[in-house]
Chain A
Amino acid sequence: MSGPTGLSGLPKAPDHVEPAPEWGRLDARMLVVRPLHEIVGFVPVLVALLVFGTGDAWRVLLSLAVIVLLVLRGLFSWLTTRYRISESQVELHSGLLSRKRKAVPRDRIRTADLTAKFGHRLFGLSAIRIGTGQHAKGKADGLLLDAVPVPEAERLRVVLLQRGVGHREAAVETAPAEARSTAIATLHRSWLRFAPLSLSGLLSIGAVIGVLVNAANEVDVRISRMAAVKEVVRWARESSLVLVVAVAIAVVLVLAVLGSLLKYVLQYAGYRLTRQADGTVRVTRGLLTTRSVSIEEKRLRGVQVGEPMLLRAGHGAKVSAVTTGLGKEQGGSLLLPPAPRAEAHRVVAEVLRLPEPPTSAELTRHPRRALARRLVRAVGAAVLVEAALLLTVAAWDWPLVLPLAWLVALPAAAWLGVDRYRRLGHALTERYLVSRTGSLDTKTVALQRDGIIGWRIRRTWFQRRTGLMTVTATTAAGRGAYSVPDIGEADGVALALDAVPGLLRPFAEPVSPESRPTPS
């Protein structure tokens, strides 16, 4: 996109606001920090080498060579990376073999994400990622300065976002940023109870075990030969199946709970959601890796309340922002970690500056025919699996246990279909289009009606037969498209017409027998 709108006609910003338009390097301490971060991944291997090492000189040499290479790479990347912030754009040059040049127009900057990993923090550094409103296909959005000293990062955030907000210079520069921020939400210790209600604990156990096994293989430690493991295997062989399964489940559960608690603390300790005087909403969080994401309020196109099934059962919810300028990278758009549902809705209302949160608005249910579609899908899939399992019994004499066990899944699938239907709903508030979908992962999206830049209205063959349609609003923010699935035809068209007046009206016609037949 071209056209730096609003730049040309305006007076120059005062000099003291502007950073010098000279090429700067990243902080020299990155020479240590970058290799440090990369070596951390090798630590288990190195430790294992020293402890269990069979004196295999080759492996030790190889590891040392890898470390030397990493240090050299850090050196070259520091030597070749330069950045410059000029009147109109932020430029970043990097790379030795393939030179990369990136430039981001300053009036396109929508978000600033300050991430300081543990290594950064040891040296008082922070990486800053600048997000723009553009969707580069498959490429990281915006640009990353990894890393600069913390005060410099803070200064860059203020200077860069201020331009994006539109020249509200003077006031912002005079007082320190913290003074003019109002807190919207802060972490409460009791929220920890929501940590085990996410599956992230289970996933992290898997990841940790994977890393350990991998490291063990790397240094030729035969896990199956270790005394403790042998002991466990022997116990399992001698005990009854039920006991073994019960103990295994208990162990996994305990580990999952511990893992999820640890993860919650690591990610969300010190969580604070604030509104800054410069027109941004800011999320600060993290124990070892601290993260501070600033979102330009004007570009906030809505919010999403996530209630995965377990969290929903515990009356919890999490909130994320629907905005331009934040990549798909994990957790960037998070506004509220898993917390009580009431708190989630309060945060939504505060962030959107509304008296009532649109996400808790009364939702219109979808026609009963939508229930039939959910049931057919959920139960149909389960029945197909059952049929396949029965086939394996018939064809290859597989044990009958599998299809029998799967029978449990059929009522579960039916319940899931019903619950998916019960969750389904939409509403139109004064400024927001609200849509709720999903059961295992219920999501309620409130999308600003001004932010809708198009519609996709889809009817499959089955939907046409039952008079349903899926109405999808497209937007520049967040996932790019938000759907209202299986809404009645007349309601769907009315919803799209009402949500963005004027856009679809020229293409709508009254339903009457003599009107041109739509193709079927």
Chain B
Amino acid sequence: MTATELRLRTPRHRVSRKALLWWTLRAVLQCAGLIIVQVALLLFADLDLMRWTLPITAGLAVLYVAVMPQWRYRVHSWEFTELAVYTLTGWLSQEWRVAPASRIQTVDTNRGPLQQLLGLATVTVTTASAAGPLEIAGLDHDDAVRLVDELTETTQATRGDAT
């Protein structure tokens, strides 16, 4: 074991502030979906159980929308060097992921409708492992494009067969 105790630090860069709005909107839509289904069941199927679950769902939804985006924003961060890409994601559960540049196979961006509206993008970095894609969600679109360019350049500089 190493002499001094070490821990992983937070990656240097945060995601775009607009990601806050994106996560909030997404949470609102998801919660609205759940609530609408329950209201429909109550009104049209006379499911009395919904009288109980509706207020609970609504309370949890308010909490989720209020807490999750802020928390996520404080956690989500990323960083890359010539040697590796390093990310931290999550809120209740948090996960660091690291992939060496020499093992990167593809670098993609994708933008859902909400992200397009807000000018955001998600960058996905895949390696030869079926289980190891790194996602940097909620980047400013221009930053994402720049990041992809730089990553592609770095990975091309260190070309192995990536397995």
Contact = CB atoms under 8 A, between A and B. Distances in A.
B84 A480 contact: no
Interface string B121-163: 0000001111110100000000000000000000000010111
A269 interface: no
B93 A459 contact: yes
Interface stretch (A61-69, A375-383, A490-498): A490-498
Interface in B1-44: 1-2, 4-11
Most buried by A among B11, B81, B95: B95
Interface in A462-509: 464, 472, 474-476, 479-481, 489-491, 493-494, 497-498, 502-504, 506-509
A518 interface: yes
Interface stretch (A81-89, A171-179, A408-416, A450-458): A450-458
Interface residues of A, number: 46
Contact of B7 (A137, A458, A490): A490
B94 A464 contact: yes
Contacts of B132: 453-454, 456, 474, 480-481
Contacts of B79: 507
User: Size range of the interface on B?
Assistant: 35 or more
B128 A504 contact: no
Given A135-B128, A494-B2, A457 B95 contact: yes
Most buried by A among B9, B94, B99: B94
Contacts of A16: none
Interface string B89-131: 0001111111110010100000000000000000000011111
Given A454-B98, A480-B129, 6 more contacts: A133-B128, A324-B163, A460-B92, A474-B129, A508-B8, A519-B10
Interface of A: 1, 3, 5, 133-135, 137, 299, 324, 453-461, 464, 472, 474-476, 479-481, 489-491, 493-494, 497-498, 502-504, 506-511, 515-516, 518-519
15 contacts: A453-B129, A454-B98, A458-B94, A459-B94, A460-B93, A461-B92, A474-B129, A475-B129, A476-B163, A479-B130, A493-B8, A494-B2, A504-B98, A508-B8, A509-B7
